[in-house]
Amino acid sequence: MPLCDGLSKVMQNCSGWVNNLCFMKQSLFSVVPLSKSHIRDGFYSGSEALDRYFSSQVGQDIKRNITKCFVAIDNDKQKIAGYYTLSAAQIPLPGLPGEIARKLPRYDAVPASRIGRLAVDRHYQGKRIGSALLADALLRSSNSSMAVYALLVEAKDEQAEAFYLRYGFIPCISLLHTLFLPLKTISKI
């Protein structure tokens, strides 16, 4: 797909995410930082690694400032419907496609925020929670007081990669299952 078509698709899709997020905020769900009062037991996304990380490790990573974690809460049932982790990152310039890298200054890397993990509980999959969590990560990244060039995602496998590709994420060169979305794209919405 030509780059400009790809970008216009991203913008349309981003509008959709923002709508999803507004829908979540107005009614059934809220997205908030994970806290000790949230009950993490029983979260089951179908990915053993993502579930294990959420039940036993994320608290330590938050405490050590390695990551932040945000959860979508089902306001009615007070249950965690999904989560994602967000941390600071950088993308080495050679990891970006040539037509994008050419327009950037010749630094070794550009600043990014990274979704290290994203998972939705089985009971809530297919209800737009995953795309709304992506929208939340994009908004938090673009509202950051630090400069963030792009949101980076590490997909756990090809199937997860397909989820990000449909929202216009661009694969990094030579970084397996790693994709990025320039934040400039959403600032135009």
Ligand X SMILES: CC(C)(COP(=O)(O)OP(=O)(O)OC[C@H]1O[C@@H](n2cnc3c(N)ncnc32)[C@H](O)[C@@H]1OP(=O)(O)O)[C@@H](O)C(=O)NCCC(=O)NCCS
Asked whether 187 and 142 are in contact (CB, 8 A), the reply is yes
Residue 31 beta carbon to ligand X: minimum distance, rounded to whole angstroms: 13
Long-range contacts: 99-103, Cβ < 8 Å, 24+? 99/3, 100/3, 100/170, 100/182
Q: For ligand X, which is the closer residue by CB, 40 or 156?
A: 156
Q: For ligand X, which is the closer residue by CB, 51 or 92?
A: 51
Q: For ligand X, which is the closer residue by CB, 45 or 113?
A: 45
- Fill in the amino acid letter for 46: G
Sheet containing strand 79-92, strands side by side: 29-33, 68-74, 79-92, 109-120, 150-154, 178-182, 170-171
Residue 21 beta carbon to ligand X: minimum distance, rounded to whole angstroms: 11
Residue 75 beta carbon to ligand X: minimum distance, rounded to whole angstroms: 17
Tell me the residue number closest to ligand X, measured at CB.
130
Q: For ligand X, which is the closer residue by CB, 112 or 119?
A: 119
Binding site for ligand X (CB under 6 A): 45-47, 50, 118-120, 125-131, 155-156, 159-160, 162-163, 166
Pairing relation of β-strands 150-154 and 109-120?
parallel
What tokens appear for 99 in the block? 């037509």
Residue 22 beta carbon to ligand X: minimum distance, rounded to whole angstroms: 15
